[in-house]
Amino acid sequence: MVSTYPTGVQNSGSQYLPQRRDTKAAVSPNQELLPLTARVNHGLLEIGGCDVTTLVQQFGTPLYILDEETLRSACQQYRDTFQKYYQGESQVLYASKAWNCLAVCAIVASEGLGVDVVSGGELYTALNAGVSPKKLYLHGNNKSIEELVLAIDSGCTIVVDNWHELRTLVGLADNSPGIRIMLRLTPGIECHTHEYIRTGHLDSKFGFDPNNLDEVFAFVSKQPSLNCVGLHAHIGSQIFERQPHRDLAAVMVQWLRDAAKYDLTVTELNVGGGLGIKYTESDDPPSIEEWSKAICEIVQEACAAENLPLPKLLCEPGRSLIATACVTAYTIGSAKTIPEIRTYLAIDGGMSDNPRPITYQSVYRAVVANKMSEPLTETVTLAGKHCESGDILIKNAQLPKTQPGDILVVMGTGAYNYSMASNYNRLPRPAAVLVANGEANLILQRETYQDLIRQDCLPERLKK
């Protein structure tokens, strides 16, 4: 969580605004710190044409602010570059565990993307958002019977993770012939990322062991009720390297070749996602186009080397689609200065609306929305309001001189913030607004104290 700033940075928060490059290439959202529409107007931060301080007055804090233009731009760049560089059919899926709600699912679906889901709740939400079942893929390493039945009844594709699930599906398939499945395999590929978000190495809870590949293919080939349409693998998240994906493509094409030996008509290849974003100035991820182009080329090269027809190519980005599109606004409260050690600056949220710093030691950047043109004169540690010493959002944040009531904005909070939010200390979860063309629409209502006790049950003998 230690925040490292470039030497000599003393200018205002406007340094974080999206770069207006003098090129014909589209600005890749994952390479920016703030949403694409962010601008400073008379010292105030605007996103989507909306003044952040006005949004706070209207909707309160903490507040997730989602920029529709940035999200749509990322969707379009993924969709268009895959169509541009891949000679076969392709389909981009949104990994909705990053942020699954009705509005987000509806936006990505309107851009032609499918949605990958990892629970019955995410599947139910996507279906109610109008996502076509033909573009829905259900993941998970321990799907319940209820989740599998919902997936079967809705007609989505089930990404089978293990032997237990495979045998369970065969038992459920008596009345549902032709269940579309993909097989998730562990490729045994390492990448430089946090150990909690590495999923491709062999020591992973996800996917079939590749050493059991022949046994899995043989079993599936004898099940007429299962329609195995594809293979899936995923190597992790927040990845900047290109070589792991090159290795993955080579391995997966070999699996395609092996599947053909068992007369399995595997026509889809899902290479997962994992492209990282720019959380700090030192982060240098590939652009969406660079990543997509590399994936398309290496899959085509691998298929040509094995003399195989091109499969339908799928990928499932999450973080790189939505993280930069959202910021979180907080109201600054109390301060505590410990001489010669640090100054703590408290905000009205913290680990319940953004658990990533305390969970992954994630690093963020922040600005003061109502003081965007003022010099950076303070180095503070931004502390959440929870009863937990580790509830620290950013260490050594450089900010202008602040006072209670100022509006702090933390960047890059669209991925795994709301989706991992909790009611720790019984704090209601924040509201979220979608901003576009100067208009703001509520997409998630702020929880109330009544919401917090809605599911509580008090036995009669305890009532007074």
- Catalytic center residues: 387
Side-chain-side CA neighbours of residue 179 (13 Å): 31
Radius of gyration in angstroms for the set of CA atoms belonging to the chain, rounded to a whole number: 23
C-alpha 240/C-alpha 278 separation (Å) is 10
Residue 97 near residue 123 (C-beta atoms within 8 A)? no
Q: Is the omega angle on the peptide bond into residue 400 within 30 degrees of 0, that is, cis?
A: no
| Alpha carbon distances (Å) from 318 to 40, 102, 134, 224, 315 | 28, 16, 19, 33, 10
Sign of the four-CA dihedral 123, 128, 131, 135? positive
User: What are 6's two structure tokens?
Assistant: 């470039």
Which secondary-structure segment (H or E) carries 94? Answer: strand 90-95
Q: How many CB atoms lie within 10 A of CB 128?
A: 11
Q: What are the structure tokens assigned to 35, written together?
A: 């949403």
For β-strands 439-444 and 392-399, DSSP reports them as: unpaired
Angle at the Cα of 18 (from 80 to 275), degrees rounded to 5?
Answer: 45
Q: Among positive and negative, which fits the CA dihedral 35, 102, 147, 167?
A: negative
Burial code (b: 16+ CB inside 10 Å, e: under 16) for 364-381 equals: bbbbbbbbbebebeeebb
Contact 61, 331 (CB under 8 A): yes
- Cα separation, 417 vs 414, in Å, equals 6
**Sign of dihedral through CA atoms 37, 43, 45, 51?**
negative
Q: Report how far residue 158's alpha carbon sits from residue 133's, in angstroms, rounded to the nearest whole number.
A: 11
Tell me how far the alpha carbon of residue 358 is from its chain's centroid. Answer: 18
Q: What spatial distance separates the first Cα and last Cα of the chain, rounded to whole Å?
A: 47
